[in-house]
Amino acid sequence: MKKLFAAVFALVLSSATAQAATIDFDFRGNGGLAPSYTFTQSGVSVTATAASFTGTGDVSTSPHYKVGQYWGGLGMSRKWDNSHEVDGKYGNDLIVFDFDRTVTLESVSFTHVDRDDGFSFFFDAGADGSLDSDNLGFNVDIPESGTYSFAKVWTGDLFGIGAYDGTIFNTDDFKISGISVSVVPLPAALPLFGAGLLVTGFIAHRRKRKNLA
């Protein structure tokens, strides 16, 4: 019986793990400026909106902030800055990514990157719907490949990628061309696990009745 239960549990676990594949979002296109953009891939949706942040990590929004979708990826425009990039000119641009479910952040891909460009990372550390900046910090170097892979596991549904204004001559600027996440659909595996328990329970009941006969 123990072996049968272990086999059922292993089947459920392998089923859930097998479905935890990486989902790649491609933000490139020609949609222009909009209050927000929603992208759906493999049943997972993420909404990108524009915000800004201060040197102390405080995040704010404004009706003047717009997300731009371009062939290079997502950029941002505000009232006094229409560069179409995520940059630190006239304030620190921030693109907020709000997922419709909990995901694990795998990597972020950038274009329009200079050799001295970095990004600032935000995460909803308190799971209270607000972004915090005290995780990776400001000015994380963007690799020459343009794709930054996260070594630490960041799991949640709200992230932010921004550009910091270091100096007037050395300001981060880039576009965000894509993001990769993974999802482990444990709730989907629970019915299978429950069915496995019913099967093992039924078999145990049959054996008990047979032994009593």
The CATH number of whichever domain residue 131 belongs to comes to 2.60.120
How far is Cα 188 from Cα 103, in angstroms, rounded to an integer? 15
Statement to judge: residues 16 and 36 lie in one domain? no
β-partners of residue 48 are 37, 97
Statement to judge: residues 108 and 196 lie in one domain? no
User: What is the extent of the structural domain holding 1?
Assistant: 1-20+184-213
> How confident is the model over 8-63, as pLDDT tens digits?
444 444 444 445 799 999 999 999 999 999 999 999 999 999 999 988 889 999 99
Statement to judge: residues 129 and 110 lie in one domain? yes
Helix, strand or coil for residue 127? coil
Residue 24: the pLDDT is 98
Q: Is the pLDDT of residue 72 over 80?
A: yes
For CA atoms 126, 131, 134, 135, give the dihedral sign: positive
Statement to judge: residues 104 and 188 lie in one domain? no
How far is Cα 85 from Cα 75, in angstroms, rounded to an integer? 4
Helix (H) or strand (E) holding 74, with range, is strand 73-77
